[in-house]
Amino acid sequence: MDRPNAWKSYTSEDYKNVFDFAEGYRQFISKFKTEREVTEASIRFVKKNGYMDLADVIRDNIPLKAGDKVFAANMKKSLALFNIGTEPIENGMNILGAHIDSPRLDIKQNPLYEDTELTFLDTHYYGGIKKYQWVTRAMALHGVVALKDGRVVPFTIGEDANDPVVGISDLLIHLAAEQMKKVGTKVVEGEDLNILVGSMPFPADSKDVKDEKELVKKNILNILKDQYEIDEEDFLSAEIECVPAGPARDYGLDRSMILGYGHDDKVCAYPSLIAQVRVTNPTRTAVTLLVDKEEIGSVGATGMHSRFFENAVAEVLNAAGQYSDLALRRALANSKMLSSDVSAAYDPNYSSVSDKNNSAFFGRGVVFNKYTGARGKSGSNDANAEFFAEIRRICDDNHVFFQTAELGKVDAGGGGTIAYIMANYGMNVIDSGVAVQNMHAPEEVISKADLYEALKCYEAFLKEA
C-alpha cells in the first residue's frame, strides 16, 4: 500500500509555507549544534512567547491555572515545556518528546599533546558513528569550560567565516594499500580520531620561552589563554564537542531537501518546539520534552532515564493545586505521547537492507514506527493498535501526510528511541518522526516536505489527542 507523495498535492501557498518553515529550521540547526546551545536558544524563544521559568514559579509560590505556560530546564542540556490545559492534569497530558544530542566527537579531559611539532586534541566519539566518515573535513569546536572561580566560559571556534577550522587527517591513497584491506570498523579506529589544532611554535624571541620543548603546544595554550582565559588544567572541567563546521545547505537542484549536521534529532525537536508554542488554550496539558543523551542510551541526569520529567510534572501539579502521589501517577499513566525521533529513509543505492513495503520515503510525510527495536523487536515499545488508530484519525482530520515504516529488514539491524522509557509509566506512546538519509553521518539529508508535515502532525496531536 503506497502512501501519497505530499509534493504532488501542494498548492503554491503550500510550497511557500514549506520553504519558509524549512528555512527557519535550516538556520536553527546551522547555529545551534549542541544540546546546550539548543536548550539555551529554546529557552530564549519560549520566554518571548509567554513561558515562565518553573524555578521562579516555585520560588515565588505562583499558582498555575489553565492557559499558563512554564518551562523547566535540566542542567542546561534538556528542557520540559508545559502549556496548562483546562482539564485536570491527572487526566493525562499530550506529550511530544525529542532528543537534542547528536553523534559527535567529544574532547577528552586530558586532550592536548604535541607529536613531531604538531599539536592535537584527543577525542572520544559519542554515539554510533562510522569513524571513517569523520576524517578530512572541516570541523568546529563548540563547548564550555567551567573554571574553578565559578565562571563558565562558552565558546565556538570554526563557524564564523573568519574563524579557523580544525580536522582529522587520513592516510593518503598512495600509501593506503594495507588500510584499504581493512573492514569498515577498522579503517579508522577510535584512538586515531585526533584533531590537528596547530603546527606553529611559540615565537623564539618571546621572554616566556625557557626551553625548546613542545613549543607548538605552548603556542596553542597561549592562544586559548589569551582569547578564552583557558589553562591546560581547565580541560578537566570542560565539555567541548567537535562537530562539522559550516551551515546546513539546501540540497538538490530543486532545493527540496536540506543537507546538514544533527538532523537526528533536531529535525523532530524543532517542529516540536514550534508546535508547542503555536498551541493555545489546550484541553489536555500540552507538553514538549527536549532531552539529552539519547544517542548513548538516555542515561545520566539529563537523559530520559532520569527523574527530571517526573519531578517537573510533580512540581507543576503542586503549583496548580492538584498534587498528590496518586495524581502524579495518574497524570503519567493517562498521558499520550509521540516519541519524535528520525527514521531511515529508503535509499535506492542501498535497497538490499530495506523492506520496500515497510520503508519510509522522502516526500511522503511524517513517519510512524509502531515498533522499533532490533531483530525480534528487542528493546522496542510496541504501540497499541487502538492508539495508532487515534493517531491516524487525527492525521486524516488535519490533512497530515503520513507513512509507516520499520528500520530496515528484520535481521538487518535496528534501533531505539525514548519511547520504551516513557511507556514504563503505562502511557500510550508511538514513535514518529522524519525520514533521514545518511543517518549518524557528519551530514544527513531530510525532505522539506516531511519536516513540514511533522509540524502539522505535532500541532494537531497537541490539540486533539
- Which fold, 104-244? Aminopeptidase i, Domain 2 (2.30.250)
Domain ranges of the chain: 6-102+261-464, 104-244
How do beta strands 257-260 and 444-447 pair?
antiparallel
Predicted pLDDT of residue 131: 96
Question: Which grid coordinates belong to 72?
Answer: 523547566
Query: What residue ranges of the chain have pLDDT lower than 50?
Result: none
Question: What is residue 208's predicted lDDT score, i.e. its pLDDT?
Answer: 63
pLDDT at position 417 is 85
Fold of the domain built from segment(s) 6-102+261-464: Aminopeptidase (3.40.630)
Q: What is the pLDDT of residue 206?
A: 64
pLDDT of residue 175: 94
Cα separation, 379 vs 222, whole angstroms: 48
In 3D space, the residue among 458, 167, 174, 129 whose CA is nearest the CA of residue 289 turns out to be 458
